[in-house]
Structure 1
Amino acid sequence: MATESAGAAREVTGARGPVVVGVPLHGLGAAAVRWAAAEARDRGVVLRLVHALTTPAGSYPGRSVVGVDVHQGLLGLARRELADMAEVARGTAPDLVVEESVVEGDVLGVLRAQARGAAVLVVGTDGFGLIGELTLGGVARGLVGHVDVPVAVVPSTTSGTGGGDVVVVGDDGTAGCRGALRYAAQRAVARGVPLVVVRAGPDARLLSEDLPDLGAVRPSTLQVVLAEDRADRVLADQARDAGLVVLGVGQHGWRHPRHSTRRGLAAHARCPVVVVPPDRPA
């Protein structure tokens, strides 16, 4: 029965496209690569490692600085980095099909393009700046709300594949969280762990106590937490033993001042945080 449920979760998860992970230089993307490899293995899809190659201002292919072609030097570094990260991925999932791609362009432009047709887009917290900057003013902010696939932010402190005892999902009662609820349910079933739905904040008492719509799959264990305390505090408390935290974009949007919860939680979470876009209209 568990095998059938896990299979259903993989099917409902949707896109059969690759799990795409942005890879910086100097081994700083290892945690994100390990997590992405496990995700690709569980989904039965390809893992694509992508490095966005940006040649420094004033340099261009063929131009030599003190006898060194900067572009070719960076290209060589990027290719070696991807080869190293492919080995890291295979250490997590030995039979995984891994693609390596160096694409010229800025990080946001490259990752947005790679998101088309992807199952999940994964970035780490190292190599793109501190997680606060990543989430508030950097790569993640430039992806969430701009791509139609889930965006996973994997802390550099994530050990192994980020496994934990539960999957936690925030629900603010808006249609923007519908995709997050279904994604979280699918991942909880695939991992065989309980799902905790958190409804918190000053308006929590106005939210329904009915079980949320989780789509076609339902975890064997489901808990709904209602609390009028600040949502970020409640979510952080519930996330301490979690392997995954899932958030929606919400009716007010990722950047809306009322929703600092998402940014604050991502800045302090020790496990991967996935932001899922709302369901697209039929």
Structure 2
Amino acid sequence: MLRPVVVGLDGSPESLAAAEWAAGEALRRGLPLRLVHAWVGLSSETSQLPELQTPRYWARRILRGAMDQLNERHPQVYLSAEQVARPAVDALVEAAAESELLVLGSRAFSGFGGYMAGSVALSTVARATRPVVLVRADRTPEDEHLPDAAGLPSERAPYRDVVAGVDVSHPCEEVLAFAFESAAVRNAPLRVVHTWHVPFAAPAAAATMTATAQRAAERALAEELRPWREKFPNVQVRTLVENGRPAQRLLQCAQDAGLLVVGRKVRPARLGTHTGPVTHAAMHHVRCPVAVVPHI
């Protein structure tokens, strides 16, 4: 059975942009699309409270409106929708576990409002066991593509690069699998970025240490990519390996990307939910859609 692409809806512009992106991704991957709206107030235990009737009406309209819009724009996509009477994070994490990927709306670091804009999105990303893609409200389908011959946004132009940030000192198979698959379904180039850092050293030794570390990092990345290049021979791959600050360099590389793919190390429950500094920076500051892929 095919795993669906799942999108969380709350009626905000961010979540509607996420639904549009999710429909396009479902079409690219040949998967069904499932819309989920979660709210505790949907519970039948409080069904007779008159103060909940208006919110319930708007909850139904959120799904109906999104379904009508997506059916009109993407009639080829098999679409379903569900209202869940549970806290949003719990419902989304559970939906993600049964999905190919989960798509959520996201605002910039300073944004407020809409349950996908802040704590719910962050908590869902930190707990999900499947990839989660965060989409900004101002993203359009044309933004994933290069400008056309006239310099105008166009869905008929080639896709922008998929950019993946990897750390070869830790397992990154899941991140590379998602990045290569995303590039393949778009027929887009893939840029793989690995940034390393040499501790402070005396000037006399710094140049030698830097050159040695650079060669080692390049060899390690080449070995990590070898099986994926063989599995996806049609994906054009470029690599960037350099000394520097990982978060800063990755944000720079993602400025003209169509999709950024980063990893999140799965931690034992007793250690709490964390995303790591590089992924945290990407989630808050990158303008293109950001895919956060959990890995061991």
TM-score by length of 1: 0.80
Distance 1:45 1:19 in 2: 7
**Following TM superposition, by how much is the alpha carbon of 1:134 offset from its aligned partner in structure 2, in angstroms?**
8.3
**Following TM superposition, by how much is the alpha carbon of 1:251 offset from its aligned partner in structure 2, in angstroms?**
7.8
**Following TM superposition, by how much is the alpha carbon of 1:200 offset from its aligned partner in structure 2, in angstroms?**
0.8
Residue matched to 2:9: 23
Distance 1:251 1:147 in 2: 9
Question: For the Cα contact (< 8 Å) 1:53–1:74, is it kept in 2?
Answer: no
Matched, 1:238 2:253: yes
Residue matched to 1:11: none
Matched, 1:154 2:135: yes
| Equivalent position SS for 2:259 | strand
Stretch deviating more after TM superposition (268-277 or 170-179) = 170-179
| Equivalent position SS for 2:36 | strand
Amino acid at match of 1:260: P
Question: For the Cα contact (< 8 Å) 1:177–1:250, is it kept in 2?
Answer: no
Residue matched to 2:274: 255
Matched, 1:101 2:101: no
Q: 2:66 aligns with which of 66, 85, 96?
A: 85
Matched, 1:183 2:183: no
**Following TM superposition, by how much is the alpha carbon of 1:140 offset from its aligned partner in structure 2, in angstroms?**
3.3
Distance 2:7 2:142 in 1: 14
**Following TM superposition, by how much is the alpha carbon of 1:135 offset from its aligned partner in structure 2, in angstroms?**
9.6
Distance 2:73 2:295 in 1: 31
Amino acid at match of 1:167: V
Distance 1:134 1:226 in 2: 37
Distance 2:21 2:142 in 1: 4
Paired residues for 1:43-54 under 5 Å: 43-54=29-40
Answer 1 or 2: which has greater helix percent. Answer: 2
Distance 1:39 1:273 in 2: 13
| Equivalent position SS for 1:29 | helix
Distance 2:83 2:117 in 1: 26
Question: For the Cα contact (< 8 Å) 1:23–1:29, is it kept in 2?
Answer: yes
Q: 1:157 to 1:32 in 2, by over 3 A?
A: same
Q: 1:162 to 1:33 in 2, by over 3 A?
A: farther
Residue matched to 1:140: 121
1:59-114 C-alpha deviation (Å, 9 max, x unpaired): 93212xxxxx2333222211111111112323442221211111111110111121
Amino acid at match of 2:274: R
Question: For the Cα contact (< 8 Å) 2:106–2:118, is it kept in 1?
Answer: no
**Following TM superposition, by how much is the alpha carbon of 1:145 offset from its aligned partner in structure 2, in angstroms?**
4.5
| Equivalent position SS for 1:109 | helix
1:128-158 C-alpha deviation (Å, 9 max, x unpaired): x838x98996223322352221111111121
**Following TM superposition, by how much is the alpha carbon of 1:189 offset from its aligned partner in structure 2, in angstroms?**
1.0
Specify every segment of 5 or more residues in structure 1 that has no aligned partner in the other structure, as ranges. Answer: 1-14, 64-68
Question: For the Cα contact (< 8 Å) 2:139–2:288, is it kept in 1?
Answer: yes
Question: For the Cα contact (< 8 Å) 2:13–2:137, is it kept in 1?
Answer: no
Bigger Cα Rg: 2
Question: For the Cα contact (< 8 Å) 1:202–1:228, is it kept in 2?
Answer: yes
Residue matched to 1:229: 244
Amino acid at match of 1:139: V
Q: 1:26 to 1:121 in 2, by over 3 A?
A: closer
Specify every segment of 5 or more residues in structure 2 that has no aligned partner in the other structure, as ranges. Answer: 146-159, 199-212
Q: 1:25 to 1:18 in 2, by over 3 A?
A: same
What is the Cα-based RMSD across aligned positions, in Å? 3.1
Amino acid at match of 1:243: G
TM-score by length of 2: 0.76
| Equivalent position SS for 1:94 | coil
Question: For the Cα contact (< 8 Å) 1:177–1:249, is it kept in 2?
Answer: no
Matched, 1:41 2:27: yes
| Equivalent position SS for 2:192 | strand
Q: 1:76 to 1:135 in 2, by over 3 A?
A: closer
| Equivalent position SS for 2:82 | strand
Distance 1:137 1:78 in 2: 20
| Equivalent position SS for 1:271 | coil
Q: 1:228 to 1:101 in 2, by over 3 A?
A: same
Distance 2:12 2:263 in 1: 32
Paired residues for 1:95-134 under 5 Å: 95-125=76-106, 130=111
Residue matched to 1:8: none
